Amino acid sequence: MSTEINLDKLYDDSVKILTDLIGFRTISGEDNSALINYCEDYLHKIGATSFKTYDEEKKRVNLFATIKAKKTNGTKPIILSGHTDTVPVSKSWSTDPFKATIKGDKLYGRGSCDMKGFIACTLAFAPIYAETNLNRDIHFSFTFDEETACLGAPILIEELKKRNIKDGICIIGEPTKMKIIDAHKGCYEYTTYFEGLAGHSSAPHKGVSAVEFATRYANKLIELREDLKKRAPKDSIFDPPFSTLQVGGIFGGIAHNVIADKCHINWETRPVIKEDGIFLNEQIDKYANEVLLPEMKKVFENSKITKKIIGEVTGFDRVKKSEACELVSSLTGDNSREVVSFGTEAGLFQEIGISTVVCGPGSIEQAHKVDEFIELNELKKCINFLNGIKSKSISN
Ligand SMILES: [Zn+2]
């Protein structure tokens, strides 16, 4: 039994679904449950099973759905993965950012390329997988809050570990114009808070200036940045080849003549290898706890230094032999491998042993911008790609 697949119809479906998805306002940090329910209902109707995981307030949701193999023969499952959140919008859009608008060969709307376009294609194709004699499970992984600091995915990954879904191939459909991305740096963001003792500026020895201690902390970070340069791996594939560090802001103090009791520093590092992140944290924590804090406490026992992790987006490492990359190459005919400067959820899947690749429709050039769009042809390319996955997933 073989039925011809009407790819044009699937493409039309993907446009319709994308239009629906853009209509859900799912800016990072906001409730995305309406969109998730839409996807879950859709997938349930075609026979998929699913589970959801949540943030602490149960406001934001990850969905993981599965179309089961008809006959398993040990072929690794495929995870089609996308984040459901988008970056915020500004007032300067020429169309309503939450209403999909087609002009010429482009579809405009927030999230059109980053990355509801990919999600729409996978949903449009899902009914075909459901009626195929699959030799492997096809999973759909839709997460929340990727854009802020990959906050949703780790919660989902924990659940995958519990359910023993640790082996497989993951395709992260971030906009790459269907090119293969197989590595990116990590991105770790922190805020460090300093609490000292306020006082009159004429008697600095009686207070603990949070601003001054924060400044010394910032200087130490800048010093450590030089050490990171020296630690650059010889075969680094990144530009620059070493882990970077940046102090993004120092906030503290109320007046010229008042000793500041509070100050905080925003800083981030982009490690090329995990060990650099560990090294940096160890060094700066040691400096804070063994040098700065004892000095602060000498004057004021309740002084505090607290480092808060805003997000630690795991780096995505290039591996010599990647099943995920090979699968994509065999379908697109493209053997190139590129690195990117943006972070994704790829490292999180890779970390639990899932072979992962970043490859999806649309261009990162349009992501996060005013008048974000996806070229309609990219959706077609993605539908063809998903059809290729089907051809690699049929049991004989
Ligand atoms: Zn994205």
Distance from the alpha carbon of residue 114 to the mean position of ligand 1, in angstroms: 5
Token couple for 100: 């999909």
CB within 8 Å of 193: residues ≥ 6 apart: 262, 263, 264, 304, 305, 306, 307, 308
State residue 3's pLDDT score: 59
Compute the distance between CA of residue 84 and CA of residue 31 in angstroms, rounded to an integer: 11
Distance from the alpha carbon of residue 237 to the mean position of ligand 1, in angstroms: 22
Of 137, 167, 163, whose CA–CA distance to 51 is shortest? 163
- Cα 107 to Cα 7, 95, 116, 185: the distances in Å are 19, 11, 12, 31
Are 303 and 196 a contacting pair, CB within 8 Å? Answer: yes
Mark the residues whose beta carbon lies below 5 A from ion ligand 1.
114-115, 174
Token couple for 63: 């969905």
Compute the distance between CA of residue 31 and CA of residue 333 in angstroms, rounded to an integer: 39
Q: Letter for the amino acid at 10? A: L
Strand partners, 141: 64, 81
Q: What is the pTM assigned to this prediction?
A: 0.88
Distance from the alpha carbon of residue 368 to the mean position of ligand 1, in angstroms: 9
Output DSSP code: residue 394: B
Distance from the alpha carbon of residue 31 to the mean position of ligand 1, in angstroms: 18
Cα four-point dihedral sign 106, 111, 113, 118: negative
- Cα 291 to Cα 107, 228, 268, 334: the distances in Å are 56, 21, 22, 53
Token couple for 47: 């026979």
Distance from the alpha carbon of residue 120 to the mean position of ligand 1, in angstroms: 14
Compute the distance between CA of residue 287 and CA of residue 296 in angstroms, rounded to an integer: 13
Helix residue ranges, H only, the chain: 7-23, 33-45, 117-130, 146-149, 153-162, 210-230, 274-287, 293-299, 323-332, 346-351, 376-391
Distance from the alpha carbon of residue 196 to the mean position of ligand 1, in angstroms: 40
Token couple for 200: 């009159």
The three-state (H, E, C) secondary structure of 135-151, written as one string: CCCEEEEEECCHHHHCC
Distance from the alpha carbon of residue 84 to the mean position of ligand 1, in angstroms: 9
Residue 308, number of CB atoms within 10 A of its CB: 10
State residue 342's pLDDT score: 83
Compute the distance between CA of residue 49 and CA of residue 342 in angstroms, rounded to an integer: 32
Compute the distance between CA of residue 307 and CA of residue 285 in angstroms, rounded to an integer: 8
Q: What is the DSSP string of 166-200?
A: -SSEEEE--SSTT--EEEE--EEEEEEEEE-B-EE
Distance from the alpha carbon of residue 10 to the mean position of ligand 1, in angstroms: 23
Distance from the alpha carbon of residue 329 to the mean position of ligand 1, in angstroms: 22
Per-10-residue mean pLDDT, the chain, length 396: 78 98 96 98 98 94 97 91 95 96 98 97 98 96 92 94 92 97 95 97 95 98 97 92 96 96 97 95 98 98 97 92 97 93 92 96 93 97 97 89
